[in-house]
Amino acid sequence: MVFFFTGTGNSLSIAKQIEKNPISIPQAIHQTPLEFTDDTIGIVAPVYGHEVPAMVKAFLQKGKFHTPYFYMVLTYGNRHGGAAQLAKQLCEECGIAPSYINIVLMVDNWLPEFDMDEQMKLDKNVSGQMQTIQELEPDATVVTDGLSISRNSVADAQSDVADWVASLNILP
């Protein structure tokens, strides 16, 4: 079971590489009782101000998670600021003992500070980062059909990106 929170799709794309049908936290948070049981339970979310977004925090505080393996993957854009350590502390405050927390560098969507055109040109090597997670967690199921574009071919990649997004089946 994988839960996700996403503003612009980075965390959703990572969640979908871990599990085919991840569950939206903004939808799940209204569930009563807010209680979940599974062999593994994961949270994928962006880093906001070095921490998880307020709704993710509320979800962890209010929810009950029965699993031998609770993990978090946090996407960030520039400076994670110890986000994994802060997330570990948050889990512990919520009575959760996380088995694994990691961060994934992606395009930064904090618009006041970054030029999105420049961000799109960067090769963040997301598939390489996911491969590292897979190597560190050999028993995890990681779907590896992400799209990787080198910075030299960005200008010609428009149709590749469109095909890949269509294949993810995430557009309404």
Ligand X SMILES: Cc1cc2nc3c(=O)[nH]c(=O)nc-3n(C[C@H](O)[C@H](O)[C@H](O)COP(=O)(O)O)c2cc1C
Q: Which residues bind ligand X (CB under 6 A)?
A: 6-11, 46-50, 75-81, 106-110
Give 7 or 26: the residue with its C-beta nearer to ligand X: 7
Provide CB contacts within 8 A for 111, sequence distance 6+: none
Q: Write down the least CB distance from residue 162 to ligand X, Å.
A: 18
Give 66 or 170: the residue with its C-beta nearer to ligand X: 170
Integer CA distances (angstroms), 128 to 3, 33, 34, 74, 107, in order: 22, 38, 35, 16, 15
Q: Write down the least CB distance from residue 95 to ligand X, Å.
A: 26
Q: Torsion angle of alpha carbons 119, 124, 126, 129, nearest 10°? A: -140
**Strand, coil or helix: 31:** coil
Provide CB contacts within 8 A for 152, sequence distance 6+: none
Q: Write down the least CB distance from residue 54 to ligand X, Å.
A: 10
Q: Write down the least CB distance from residue 126 to ligand X, Å.
A: 10
Give 48 or 59: the residue with its C-beta nearer to ligand X: 48
Give 24 or 37: the residue with its C-beta nearer to ligand X: 24
Sheet containing strand 100-105, edge to edge, reads 23-24, 2-4, 40-46, 69-76, 100-105
Q: Write down the least CB distance from residue 108 to ligand X, Å.
A: 5
Give 39 or 87: the residue with its C-beta nearer to ligand X: 87
